[in-house]
A and B are shown apart, each in its own frame.
Chain A
Amino acid sequence: MSDEPGAVQALPVPDAMRRVTRDVLATLEWRIPSWLAYWGAVGLCLFVWSIAALVWAYQIYTGLHITGMLHPVMWGAYITSFVFWIGIAHSGTLISAILFLLRAHWRTSLARAAETMTIVAVMTAGIFPILHLGRAWLFYWLVPYPNERGLWVNFSSPLIWDATAVGTYFVVSFLFWFLALIPDFAAVRDRSSGWKRWIFERLALGWTGTAAEWRHFRTAYTLLAALIAVLVVSVHSIVSWDFAVAVVPGWHSTIFAPYFVVGAIFSGLAMLLTLMVPGRFLLEIRDYVTIDHLENVAKLLVAMSLLLTYSYGSEMFFAWYRGDPFERAQWVFRAGGGYAPLFWLTLLCNSVAPLAFLSRRVRRNTTALFALSIVINVGMWSERFVIVVASLAHEYNAYSWGTYRPTVFEWTVLAGSAAWFLFWFLLLIGHIPAVPMAETKERLLETAPLEGVPA
């Protein structure tokens, strides 16, 4: 196989379509040469997150004092990571849904990976709010269920909005992801035997691909895409309101919603690169996820980076322009206080580094893409850290300023969450068609030269 695009498109349509089926199915049938690396990675992830699980158990037993959190910094690395992973979850849907609606066809081959990433990222993010609870075993009190006490939840609390939004987001993106998979499952079903066939028969839900089915399929898919496009924006806005509705200087800001959405998409795209640059080698799907696709992602990254820089700018400007001494003090602290290094690192990673993508050579160099995507991930995490922690560390009352540093336990948990994310991502992507076959074929048909139809 080559890295040159259009290797498949070059073939006559029917052969091309067969080729698609064959290549994609190859990723499922251990015929890939890299299967050892694959299972190695999965195993390693499993190990790491089991360690983290033990740490969590210990935390529940002994209390949160094993974290670095203190009065006044009551939220630390856990919430930071929650916001981070929710952010990651956004590009997936953005790519699938919004680009689909915009008929940006290059999305096709990335869509499957992106959506899978979304679902897994939400699964990861969802752990943290429970993980950071003082009495985690009572987490179900966050759910409005009828109980003997006659007590319900407080719908005024941003945390409840959060729970609702994230829950919704998970369900809907799962449906979206699964819907797109149905025809592909059918294709797998028809090409497998034994227990695998049995499984995929169930998954395909009896799909046969009649014209009417395709019609309903397309209508549902389009509608879901539309719904999700709205949802994507609402979810991270709501996450941002967790902070924006608070009185904390550095949180209390009206631009938080768009600012967080942009940040989310930005980090999501970066993570997509981080996963797909190695992934397309691992799964041998370079003909479908071509360098052009990656370049497009890079272009988007530049755009998002610029938007983000603008948000930073306006946030600082209004901190100064508002004239609230506490708000100003907060920014003086961010730029010069104990967390200043992270603050500047954030700017470097998110506002400066991505500008490298302005050069075509960088955009088309997989190594550079991968490296920069990592840089951006780091930048986005530290951005969230500065927002969450620095603000709390330096509030109104000078009596209770404090400095928070994550402990080794917290770092372990964070590593565990990353492992958990990769674990599920690899497991899923390795057992479903990693590239949407039906849609790729659709593209082939669309672009196929139209021969004369006999009257």
Chain B
Amino acid sequence: MIERRQFLKTIGISGSAALLEQCAPTPSHELIPYLVAPDDVVPGVAAYYATTCRECPAGCGALVKTMNGRITKAEGNPAHPIGRGRLCVRGQAAVQSVYNPDRFRTPLLRDAHGVFQPISWPDAESLLAAKLGAAMQGGADRVAWIGELLTGALDTLTSTWLAALGSRRRLFYETFDYEPLVEAGAIAFGRREVPRYELDRAGFIVSFGAEFLETWLSNVEFTGAYARARRRQLRDPEGTLLVVAPRLSLTGLNADAWIAPRPGSEALVALAMAHAIVADGVAHSSAAPYVRGIASAVAPYAAERVARATDVDAATIRRAARRFVAARPSLAIGGGVGGTSDRHAVQLELACLLLNVLAGNIGETIGYGAGHAVDRLATRNDMLETTRTMASGGVDVLLVHHANPVFTLPPAVGFADAISRVPFVVSFAGAPDETTDRAHLVLPDHHFLESWGDYAPRAGVASLLQPAAAPLFDTRATGDVLIEVANQITADTARAVGRTTWADYVRSRWAGGAAAANDQAAAAAGWQDALASGGRFEAVDAVRPALGDVARALAIDPDAQEPAGPFTFIACPSTHFYDGRSANESWLQEVPDPITKIAWGDWIEIHPDAARRLGIVDGDVVRVTSAHGRIEAAAHLYAGMRPDVIAMPLGYGRLRSSRHAGARGSNAALLLPPTAAGSPHAVWRASGVRVERTGPRRVVIMLQAHVASREDAAPPLGKIVDPGRADAREPPQHPPVDLFPPHEHREHRWGMAIDLNSCTGCNACVAACYAENNIAVVGEQFCGQGREMSWIRIERHAHTVPSESSLHRPANVFLPMLCQQCDEAPCESVCPVYATYHNPEGLNAQVYARCIGTRFCSNNCPYKVRRFNWARYGWEAPLGEQLNPDVTVRSAGVMEKCTFCVQRIQGAKRAARLDGHLLRDGDIVPACAQTCPAEAIVFGDLHDPESRVSRAASDPRGYHVLEELNTRPAITYLRRSVPGAPGDER
């Protein structure tokens, strides 16, 4: 195993004797101790650092696990209000981007031939200083900064720094902005901010396309809240979530009900609901002062009147409206990227706010006051303006900081041309992307897991970033670079910034905030406390703003039809790649998309009816043409949308030849206009697009053979139950029969309970398992041959529940499938060499060292959760350094599978032994359960009747997958509650 040796070498350098012992297949014959032992590293013992995930603007708290000075795993920080100790699939994969082989290893300068050449830091910095000095002479605003969303230390530093350079041109650019929402807030309540949504307090949620379980605003936080709401609403015959959108995103698939209006008419539906509430006079008392105003504002939008424009019948709208007020406190969420951002985006947000006012949700489930970092994002207008300035040569030096506008802005904006007109472009990116391709100087920043910093997603949540490991390459913190450069340009700039290091800069600011600046002790204590807890968190109480006049802003012609054209194209954010930034992380490529289960490639979603009309079958290459561009990709038939809509995920078609993302698929943004028609906002739709079949089938790697249930298959394994019968315990259809006495497990009987009612299918557990268990990435070709290695996978099972007029029932079940640790496992008895057996604690053990690879166990596993090493799989340097030293790396020809993270079980027992207490419920948390944002997975000891898992397992909704086979799994699944679900299928 070459990659292991490589791994070893680096360890040898870092000097830990311990790892040699642990990881060498052919152990080296020398032990190299530290010269001076670092105080926080005990070889072989994990150290955790509290920091903040910066994969997206949500800013979840993270605990980073390091072993022997290497980052092996990222987990959520339980002390942190955002994420509450959970991470999403992208957060889990963040560690992989630390060891991304494509990362810049040194600063680079483009030479005369346009080729990057390494350059030393001092040279690079003085060069930059010179360029900036020159630009300053040119006048004001000749220097522009486009970068990721900043708050706190770096925010202050950059603003003072730019000010010193005489520039106000600083844009915080995020691909997905929340401009309409902010604007609506301003119009309705005079507050330019994104409100705080408390989904867990809502009795009923209506989402007008906001994909809050995937990428919208703060998906981990919202997933947890939504799951809690679902658990509370379990027995509600109407369910918890109604989605109003032309296409079902992952959030939509998790909804109880779905209304599919004509694209662009969502606002009308919302207004019609408001109209219905006012007309029926069921508005909440707290809304009394505003009812008349609202009534006049929404007068034109009677349900019947908008029915034609929206293609939603009046009765359904009324029903939704009644339900919305009845279930107070409820919550209406508007916006969302793939869903409904449109030229009526602001109106939609306003309509949502009106609904929330009418139902009396303001201050209950939706709160103003805290604001959100995204309030400070540059608007699409700002971007266009700057683009124009750049194009007209108004910018001498452009500094790009962790942003990739060249790729993420729709090409129609023309940013790529504009940037080529800028004489000197500097990028702080850590890895190559489309923007660095156009940069003249690259000053690679540390990875955020290697850096100092802070980020405050919203008021009251001041979150700290601290390095979990020494920088892997010759990178430098952007803060340090700015300080150094400022000190080189002029005396003034030097004075403005001061002479310090970035780390001190951050620390001083935090210490200053901690207590009275003069109290050193308190300052130090506050700093230590922040380091330990990952930041400073206090509650901010919400304000109840008064509703302003909205009538003017709501000018939609209720009878207007969307511009004609066969199809509306929707570019959806990717659950795995966000806007494409994480597309180079092989875990995210190999773990299939939660909806389509497609890996390693892009696709275009077409409704089966439309496909039939166009003579397109699954996998055909289709061309989509809009006014702005053309795309070709393989068709994927998806019934979860209107027949007049086609959709495609963003994040593919990265031009840069980074090894995994590069040249894979095509960029959905190609089809998008620079702004929505007749509005200044960004838009992720293109109406009036043409679709045609251009080519024969292309291989699409779909890891789930069949999503929908088929006639030649048996009923779906993921079961559903009607809310009415959620407490009705059905008698077991297959009472266990056995010739032999059952196992007696002396001490423990490890078991798991998975609540299908909570699971949203977000794939976080899958990525966590890859990280924890050294699961090999087999790559595109092998995935295509069905040889992926994932120990846990999310199966999507689609049930058919009849829809009621315009109200459809998605009835989707996401079934996390992993080794069931059967008491009477079919796999065990067929192994000739005892490589797999039943251990005294109820685990279905797999001893890799003993396995000779007859593969009978896998054949005999009804759940098909065993994975075989068909080849010698590698970890390209430095990816190998992420490997978890507590888990054996499996060799070719060996079977492997989930063992409930046995290394964690043994670790917890060991820890308990060492500080002499007994194992408590919750001491052991497998990686999947640890990260599950919906807290759907509970692990524990089935022997202890008081344990959480025992209680969960005895839930009336509980069942075992394929229990008729009498395998006695240790995993109990709890049926998903789906309104209108038929009686038990079998």
- The residues of A with any CB-CB pair to B shorter than 8 Å are 62-65, 69-72, 74-75, 129, 132-136, 138-139, 141-142, 151, 153-154, 156-160, 163, 242, 245-248, 325-326, 329, 332-333, 336-337, 392, 394-402
Contacts and interface: CB of A to CB of B under 8 A. Distances in A.
Nearest to A403: B786
A70 B785 contact: yes
Most buried by B among A151, A248, A336, A397: A397
B713 interface: yes
B704 A133 contact: no
B858 A134 contact: no
Contacts, number: 169
A401 B785 CA distance: 12
Contacts of B716: 398
Contacts of A337: 712
Given A141-B852, A157-B832, A248 B858 contact: no
Contacts of A246: 826, 830, 856, 859-860
A188 B703 CA distance: 65
Nearest to A160: B832
Most buried by B among A64, A129, A156, A395: A64
A142 B852 contact: yes
A65 B870 contact: yes
A141 B833 contact: yes
25 contacts: A63-B870, A63-B871, A70-B785, A70-B870, A71-B786, A72-B858, A74-B856, A75-B859, A135-B852, A135-B892, A141-B833, A151-B850, A242-B856, A247-B862, A247-B965, A325-B986, A329-B714, A394-B712, A396-B862, A397-B817, A398-B704, A398-B709, A399-B705, A399-B706, A399-B793
Interface string B820-839: 00000010011111100000
B489 interface: no
Given A246-B830, A397-B864, A399-B793, A134 B892 contact: yes
B773 to A, nearest CB: 17
A383 B766 CA distance: 39
Contacts of A159: 830, 832, 854, 856
Contact of A75 (B855, B862, B986): B855
Interface residues of B, number: 55
B863 A397 contact: yes
B871 A65 contact: yes
A74 B830 contact: no
A151 B831 CA distance: 14
B441 interface: no
B872 A248 contact: no
Given A135-B893, A135-B894, A333-B712, A398 B705 contact: yes
B714 to A, nearest CB: 4
Nearest to B793: A399
Contacts of B749: none
A134 B851 CA distance: 9
Nearest to A154: B834
A71 B826 CA distance: 17
A206 to B, nearest CB: 42
Given A141-B833, A153-B833, A399-B864, A329 B826 contact: no
A134 B704 contact: no
Nearest to A129: B854
A71 B795 CA distance: 15
A248 B860 contact: yes
B895 interface: yes
B473 interface: no
Closest 7 CB pairs of A and B: A134-B853, A134-B893, A74-B855, A65-B870, A401-B705, A63-B871, A325-B714
B383 interface: no
A71 B778 CA distance: 13
A399 B863 CA distance: 9
Interface of B: 703-706, 709-717, 782, 785-788, 793, 795, 817, 826, 829-834, 850-856, 858-860, 862-864, 867-872, 891-895, 962, 965, 986
Contacts of A392: 859
Given A134-B893, A397-B862, A398-B713, A156 B829 contact: yes
A133 B854 contact: yes
Contacts of B867: 71
Given A65-B782, A157-B856, 10 more contacts: A62-B871, A134-B854, A134-B869, A134-B895, A135-B851, A142-B832, A247-B860, A326-B714, A395-B862, A402-B786
Contacts of A75: 855-856, 859
A336 B712 contact: yes
B629 to A, nearest CB: 36
Given A64-B870, A154-B831, A160-B832, A401 B893 contact: no
A145 to B, nearest CB: 12
Contacts of B829: 154, 156-157
A247 B826 contact: yes
B596 to A, nearest CB: 13
Secondary structure class of chain B's binding surface, majority of residues:
loop
Nearest to B892: A63
Contacts of A62: 871-872
Contacts of B831: 154, 157
A402 B860 CA distance: 15
Given A65-B787, A329-B714, A134 B826 contact: no
Given A71-B787, A133-B852, A63 B893 contact: yes
Contacts of A151: 833-834, 850
A325 B850 CA distance: 36
B704 A399 contact: yes
Contacts of B705: 398-402
Contacts of A136: 893
Contacts of B986: 325
Contacts of B785: 65, 70
A138 B712 contact: no
A71 B868 contact: yes
Contacts of A397: 717, 795, 817, 862-864
A133 B893 contact: yes
Nearest to A134: B853
Nearest to B864: A400
Nearest to A332: B712
A394 B793 CA distance: 19
Contacts of A394: 712
A351 to B, nearest CB: 24
A329 B709 CA distance: 12
Nearest to B965: A247
Nearest to A151: B834
Contacts of B862: 247, 395-397
B859 A248 contact: yes
A331 B737 CA distance: 27
Most buried by A among B709, B854, B867, B869: B854
Contacts of A70: 785-787, 870
Contact of B832 (A63, A72, A154, A395): A154
Contacts of B788: 71
A71 B855 CA distance: 10
Most buried by A among B716, B830, B871: B830
Contacts of B817: 397, 399
A157 B834 CA distance: 9
B699 to A, nearest CB: 13
Contacts of B711: 332
Given A135-B851, A135-B853, A154-B833, A71 B894 contact: no
A74 B713 contact: no
Nearest to A140: B852
A395 B860 CA distance: 10
Nearest to A139: B852
B905 to A, nearest CB: 23
Contacts of A333: 712
A329 B716 CA distance: 13
A37 B941 CA distance: 72
A72 B833 CA distance: 21
B893 A64 contact: yes
A395 to B, nearest CB: 7
B874 to A, nearest CB: 12
